Structure 1
Amino acid sequence: MSYLLVGNYGVGNLGDEALKEYFLNRFPDVEWKVVSANPRKGELARLPLGIRSLFKPWWKTVMELKKSKGIVFGGGSLFTDVESRRACILWWWHAFIAWAFRKPIYLAFQGIGPFRTCMGDKLSRWVTDKADYISVRDEKSAVRIEHWFKHTKVIQTFDPVILLIEAEKYGNRSHNVLTIVPRKNSDKLFLVKAKEMSKSCKWEFVSILSLNPGNRDERRICKELRTLCGGEIRTVGSVDELCNEISKSCCVMSQRYHGGIAALALGKKLESVKQLGGDKLDTLNNDQSVDELKKMALVGEKSLIEKLS
């Protein structure tokens, strides 16, 4: 059975690539056709929403969609306009074409909202209304869409990347190290908080992790943090590398969702810094049981397997 797998893949972001890895590895009976911003061999281009994308082979994506059993929006915070107003339009466009071809739409492990614009809200409501399956990765998303028009129940789950993290593999090697995980668009408030935390204790070391080292803005933010906090910039390209670095620390300050998840999974003190009230970082805290979070993720996995079968 063939399904299109759509997400923010191919942009160099570790979290989104980890989600792609999860779907490819945990659903062996599904023939995934991965839709990517920068498709590798065997992957498909996104549907066009701009001049540059018109010159990519998007028609192959349309052909594969016609032959497929449906389209799966696989994890991440796709339907939010906190970082980009264009995001909701892009993912709505993919859902609209699938709907036009009468293909089922599956929203899997989604973080939905918050929204800065009415357009982002309305487009996300449209997709939710047309979806044949919905699972959300946090309670705030579930509450946000509770009273939206839907044709299926909403399954409360958790981000499945946590299922890729085996804490036992990294052992107990915690030191008096502060790990800071910024975003490419971390603001001055984050920089100020990072500086305050770096000066609040006599850390043995301050580690600044870059999860998207190919991005110019993220490199700039990391250099600013190094100037303010000292320490060393380290690049990570996989969940394993991320966990290996975080396992060495006792405290993690993160504005990246999957940096926060790794900290929780490895039992580290987490200081998550949200970008906007109700966003994905606002849902992570040290009171959450890792075992319970994994159980919730497995509930989402089981329900999706049953739906796709």
Structure 2
Amino acid sequence: MRLLLVGNYGAGNLGDEALRDFFLTRFPQHVWTCISVRPSRDRPEVPPLPCGLRSLCTTPWWRTFMVLWRVDAVVFGGGSLFTDTESVFACMLWWWHAMVARFLRKPLHFAFQGVGPFRTRLGEWLARSAFRKARSLSVRDTLSFSRVQLWHLNTKVIQSFDPVFSLVDKEKTHTNPQNVLTVIPRHNSRDSLLSRLKELLLGGMWDGVDILLLQPEHPQERSFALELLSAGAREIIPVRTLEELVDQVAASRVVLTQRYHGGLVALALQRELHCVEQSPGDKLDALAKLAARPFDREVLCSQIEDGVRALEQGLRS
């Protein structure tokens, strides 16, 4: 089948790129084209559809429309596409992609979705509207599952988990960690992360405090990292691949993060995890709740397989 993979790819976010790689490697029997904010000429990628005058005039959106015309189905592939925690525009952008695909009578599949939280009624309405006629639907956490269940959709909702978890080499859990505190900020991290770092610095003796940048080219992320250095961190380490992230986290004893996939890797490697949520009920909140109680890695991997089967069966239907 010819499929269009829709997601926040190409922005330099390590977690989103790992999700894209999961789909391309786990479903190699399909011919994929990916939405990317920075399409590469070396790969089958197209820009997002325009959602404003500027993007209408500056991006070759007609390439995306032609791909939509030709594909057999559209897959919204993981990540927090439908949440208005930062801006309701994100919900509007992905809703628009769903509406154009539906207009062209393309089956819609939503795989490993993080849904919500929502600050506005509009954001939630856009998400519910996009999901309304999904052929298959899986979500990555219990909070997302509860939100979608309240919508009473005709499509069965599958409780899955983030597939990046399954890409972490479980043998790395046996790596002897150093007495290092690893901090993973976002470009829009606030004082809450800085305050939590100061608490951890006062509460223990550390051999080192390292800062991992998962979007090292982002100027605001670099700027906030410099603030963390002045608070007592030792080193800023740019991280560009999942393998590099796994190695850095495996060498740490404690991880303080405001990045979801940084926390996910820490969870997979069974490191002490401190998540600083951006808003109540967000993906970091869901991850913190999971880390706060004993969990079975095999159960989580089994849930990922449930999501894989849901997508496979949906594509065959």
Question: Which TM-score applies when normalising by structure 2?
Answer: 0.95
Q: Please, which of 179, 182, 188 is the counterpart of residue 185 of structure 1? A: 188
Superimposed CA distance per residue, residues 239-290 of structure 1 (whole angstroms, 9 cap, x where no aligned partner): 1000000011111111111001100111101111111111101111322322
Superposed, which structure 2 residues align to 1:26-105 within 5 Å? 26-41=26-41, 42-54=44-56, 55-105=58-108
Q: Displacement of 1:153 after TM fit?
A: 0.4
Partner AA of 1:116 in structure 2: R
CA distance in structure 1 between the aligned counterparts of 2:267 and 2:152, rounded to whole angstroms: 34
CA distance in structure 1 between the aligned counterparts of 2:302 and 2:6, rounded to whole angstroms: 24
Runs (5+) with no aligned partner, structure 1: none
- 2:231 paired residue number: 228
Superimposed CA distance per residue, residues 169-224 of structure 1 (whole angstroms, 9 cap, x where no aligned partner): 57413011101111111111111111111221110010111000111111111111
Q: Displacement of 1:103 after TM fit?
A: 0.8
- 2:171 paired residue number: 168
Partner AA of 1:141 in structure 2: S
Q: Displacement of 1:229 after TM fit?
A: 2.5
Partner AA of 2:305 in structure 1: L
- What SS does structure 1 have at the residue aligned with 2:32? strand
- 2:10 paired residue number: 10
- 1:21 paired residue number: 21
Q: Displacement of 1:122 after TM fit?
A: 0.8
- What SS does structure 2 have at the residue aligned with 1:302? helix
Partner AA of 1:184 in structure 2: H
Q: Displacement of 1:131 after TM fit?
A: 1.5
- 1:145 paired residue number: 148
When the two chains are superposed, the root-mean-square deviation of aligned CA atoms in Å is 1.2
Q: Displacement of 1:297 after TM fit?
A: 0.9
Q: Displacement of 1:84 after TM fit?
A: 2.1
- 2:128 paired residue number: 125
Tell me, yes or no, if the aligned pair for 1:79 and 1:124 is still in contact at 8 Å: yes
Runs (5+) with no aligned partner, structure 2: none
Question: Runs (4+) of structure 1 moved beyond 4 Å?
Answer: none
Superposed, which structure 2 residues align to 1:253-264 within 5 Å? 253-264=256-267
Superimposed CA distance per residue, residues 46-77 of structure 1 (whole angstroms, 9 cap, x where no aligned partner): 10113342221111111111111111100001
Partner AA of 1:50 in structure 2: G
- Are 2:314 and 1:307 equivalent residues in the alignment? yes
- What SS does structure 1 have at the residue aligned with 2:149? coil
Partner AA of 1:22 in structure 2: F
Tell me, yes or no, if the aligned pair for 1:170 and 1:243 is still in contact at 8 Å: no
Question: Which TM-score applies when normalising by structure 1?
Answer: 0.97
Give me the identity figure in percent.
47
